Structure 1
């Protein structure tokens, strides 16, 4: 969306129409009159851009955000030190009393609030689409598809993180929202699958250059596959994944590193990426993967020399070092796997490093991408993930015979010469999927949900070596979900009435 957002107009309109800080206290109709705003295609488009902008916030995709829950506390990345206070989601010491203290501005309470802000605003847009008499059918379909997808994507995260949550599809007054109980996550997922099917029908197959950063029908289809795998609906998951592989314009790149090159955004493999722009709407999630110079190199007497060598390339170790490969990931990653160099680096410019890093996610460029002001897009879904999901679904349905073709397609660029898998049982193929997703998708926001849906999170955490904290001693079965932030109970007591345990945290 780098080219088509009028930033000043967008901020003004969205602030007036969709102020979200107090969205539970104010009636949205009081912020601006929808009848006065929702008239032209431009106005509907601005409102939908406002939904995308919420996803760019620090609590979702702009900072560590959602990855705090989808990557941390698994078996791939972790911090190199305690940063400020103990991080309860990684240490598995999370409780009602400390959930609100997580990284102020990017923690769980704001994640909850912003996801519901998206839902509230999406319902307003859909209501206005129903009554608008000026749009063409094509315009109406385009806006409906985008809005259904963005609302479904919000419910997808809410059910992943909190399980049963308040669920509503109409533009309800705040007085009704504040008394909604929690709805069973199975019902929510079933209904958002229906919405996603319609969204896929209505959304575009591909995007023009001016619309880059929005989602296509294939992003909707990918969310469907992930939900269907969680529900163990193997045949439907396989068929939907094959639809993406066979019908979408996406293809695997020959070069794994090229997928993550910030100069190669919107490449053929990436199904959806959140668009960021330096100096306009930038991100700092990159900094979590980038080294900080005070930690490096391993020989501290060479720090000045390393800094000089970096400076000659206009580079710098100016990051946080808080998302780096765990020891087991470094030790287990096959040495002959060509993806290793993008997922693990232990030396740079001839200097042995004190910690390993994940270079596919870092950005050392100090001219075009300085600390805290990165324009690197956030890749949400890419085709390699879909290939591995169809391999998993096919194996669960029929065993590995017809599943090899999909996992081996991903492995083709990982080995030279090629090392296709063969001769596995259904169980050993299942383990191969566990490993292949670990090598292919490390640090990209999938791992912890994978471990949860496979039912092995606790076992994996208890056998993983961590540098910081002691998650293995702390993790409990209820940690697969988050507690609802307690301040939400004062706004809506029905949340606690429908589950007095708050997901097992009391």
Structure 2
């Protein structure tokens, strides 16, 4: 059924919305293919008009189906980093961002406005189409208002106030609005989302077997409006909206001790936890490629006979170190290896070396600064594995840690591979995990990466969640905490922690909450651990004002954070560009085309 729905979206590409002439404004108004029907034909045909709805949803695929180096938003956050081979274009991480940068300025503006303009065309024209019931037209318009709000939500965070278009744009002159303020955009979104919520034709949620599953629901509208209220610091309204999401029938998936892991498998992608997600099939353009960008070379083979996975995105060690122990106590390296924290980062490499290294491997380790006086010829692997043995289970479900096993499918069958260093070989049986960076040891992604023969192509069928109920619960907890309902906040967080298999808050001395500020810190941590890989945290870190301190911190040796090996040695470092980096620059082409557009402070 899902494949049939997405096939309709593929067909809709040939009936894409006609937005006027061949315009060149940075909002990318030229959306129609050369063989597209005329606008009049689209809106004079009920069947073609309905296909335009799928054409709006189609824009959601842009970020996750074509290129694994898109710069998915978790690599903008403190959670992970992009491989050094792919840093070109990500100028905002190295203090040389400009209004002409694709990844750090133009891409998101172009992508999101493309979706907005398609949505506007439906919202304006669909009500006049004959042959579609009024109830269905109302629902479709509400869906497009939600999608428009989703894209404006991200634009408003990224750029800090943008032009607000609600009508089809037919000419360049029609694309010259001045920017609304960020607060004004939030108010516009509340109006639109309220309209969705008030629409009696928009259902609370869809069942897993519904032919309309994947379409926007009232629960999604409540969730997004609640997020907007969080930005406005209207905590009571946010909490009320998140409560309404639960009343719509959404809830945590809690089936089994590894429920968190199983949540992201195909069998459970339509469970009641998923509120708004990208519907994927294993076909180009409509399959998620996080499987590739987050992967490793032990995934099934590509056309050259090698594993199809690339480890373009790697997990940052500071984030891994933040995961608690199962009992809720903070993880401390010195509890595992006394004196570890006092060592230089290069010296710590010794603890991550495999057992029984050879002479060449020893020489290379010594040359890179490893303190080989601490090496155990037998038992070195076992010692470091203890650092990950008693941690929050979400760490092991989300990250491939040193000397853990990954079930790969490189031989066309499910076989175990182990993350060892230095890398030696790959083959049948229990062999080393091969990566694109074999000469170094990085924390690898496990979440969203197919195991064994689960995903045999680049294009994963696993749906990618945009909003799920755990996200809502943790936002709800934050809102309650701001309202001084710490007990209510604890309850919501504990729902998430209980599912994860970690000690609930207020269950022992380590987890005892000591006031509102402590609770806020715990909620921020919880969101990082729960939502890694879902491209949510960057937007949180901007809202909290923590992004600079978490992403651009300086270590004890005076080196700024960057892509780091598991023991902390940087491969490259970031550079903070100034307080103007809290927002992206308005694209230069948009400034040129629109005389009413003002550039963000610090980017002029």
TM-score (normalizing by structure 1): 0.85
**Aligned pair partner of 1:94 in 85, 94, 97:** 97
Distance in structure 2 (CA, Å) of the matches to 1:387 and 1:42: 39
3-state SS of the aligned residue for 2:308? coil
**Structure 1 counterpart of 2:122:** 125
**Aligned pair partner of 2:290 in 285, 289, 302:** 285
**Structure 1 counterpart of 2:399:** 344
Q: Quote how far apart the aligned CAs of 1:278 are.
A: 1.2
**Structure 2 counterpart of 1:330:** 320
> 1:166·1:182 contact (CA, 8 Å) conserved in 2?
yes
> 1:245·1:387 contact (CA, 8 Å) conserved in 2?
no
> 2:18·2:31 contact (CA, 8 Å) conserved in 1?
no
Matches within 5 A, 1:43-58: 43-58=48-63
Distance in structure 1 (CA, Å) of the matches to 2:30 and 2:85: 39
3-state SS of the aligned residue for 1:211? coil
Matches within 5 A, 1:207-356: 207=206, 209-254=210-255, 255-280=259-284, 281-292=286-297, 317-336=307-326, 337-346=392-401, 347-348=404-405, 349=416, 351-353=418-420, 354-356=441-443
Distance in structure 1 (CA, Å) of the matches to 2:89 and 2:129: 51
**Aligned pair partner of 1:73 in 59, 72, 76:** 76
Distance in structure 2 (CA, Å) of the matches to 1:66 and 1:238: 33
Change (3 A) 1:170 1:8: closer
**Aligned pair partner of 1:413 in 480, 495, 499:** 499
Report the RMSD for the aligned CA atoms in angstroms. 3.0
- Deviates most, 263-272 or 225-234: 263-272
Matches within 5 A, 1:179-194: 179-194=176-191
Distance in structure 2 (CA, Å) of the matches to 1:442 and 1:79: 15
Q: Quote how far apart the aligned CAs of 1:341 are.
A: 1.1
Task: Return the index of the structure with the highest Cα Rg.
Answer: 2
Distance in structure 2 (CA, Å) of the matches to 1:408 and 1:193: 29
**Structure 1 counterpart of 2:462:** 376
3-state SS of the aligned residue for 2:487? coil
> 1:448·1:457 contact (CA, 8 Å) conserved in 2?
yes
Distance in structure 2 (CA, Å) of the matches to 1:9 and 1:156: 28
> 2:197·2:218 contact (CA, 8 Å) conserved in 1?
yes
Q: Quote how far apart the aligned CAs of 1:438 are.
A: 1.1
**Structure 1 counterpart of 2:480:** 394
What are the Cα deviations for residues 91-146 of structure 1, in whole angstroms up to 9, with x where unaligned?
3432224x13x4xxxx7423312321222222221221343354322112111111
What are the Cα deviations for residues 170-212 of structure 1, in whole angstroms up to 9, with x where unaligned?
2343243332111112111101111111113332222353223
Q: Quote how far apart the aligned CAs of 1:363 are.
A: 2.1
Please state if 1:490 is matched with 2:589: no
Please state if 1:151 is matched with 2:151: no
Distance in structure 1 (CA, Å) of the matches to 2:152 and 2:278: 18
Q: Quote how far apart the aligned CAs of 1:274 are.
A: 0.4
Distance in structure 2 (CA, Å) of the matches to 1:350 and 1:234: 47
**Structure 1 counterpart of 2:557:** none
More helix by share: 1
Q: Quote how far apart the aligned CAs of 1:248 are.
A: 2.6
**Structure 2 counterpart of 1:504:** 602
> 2:78·2:319 contact (CA, 8 Å) conserved in 1?
yes
Change (3 A) 1:283 1:62: farther
Matches within 5 A, 1:103-118: 108-118=105-115
Distance in structure 2 (CA, Å) of the matches to 1:21 and 1:266: 39
> 1:411·1:418 contact (CA, 8 Å) conserved in 2?
yes
Change (3 A) 1:417 1:9: closer
Distance in structure 1 (CA, Å) of the matches to 2:187 and 2:540: 19
Q: Quote how far apart the aligned CAs of 1:326 are.
A: 0.5
3-state SS of the aligned residue for 2:419? strand
Distance in structure 2 (CA, Å) of the matches to 1:324 and 1:446: 17
Q: Quote how far apart the aligned CAs of 1:462 are.
A: 3.2
Where do 5+ consecutive residues of structure 1 fail to align? 294-306
3-state SS of the aligned residue for 1:260? coil
Number of aligned residue pairs = 474
3-state SS of the aligned residue for 2:139? helix
Distance in structure 2 (CA, Å) of the matches to 1:206 and 1:133: 27
Q: Quote how far apart the aligned CAs of 1:161 are.
A: 1.1
3-state SS of the aligned residue for 1:379? strand
What are the Cα deviations for residues 350-384 of structure 1, in whole angstroms up to 9, with x where unaligned?
623432222112224557432x3222221111100
Distance in structure 2 (CA, Å) of the matches to 1:505 and 1:130: 42
**Structure 2 counterpart of 1:302:** none
3-state SS of the aligned residue for 1:402? helix
> 2:261·2:397 contact (CA, 8 Å) conserved in 1?
yes
What are the Cα deviations for residues 1-26 of structure 1, in whole angstroms up to 9, with x where unaligned?
42233466423212767999857566
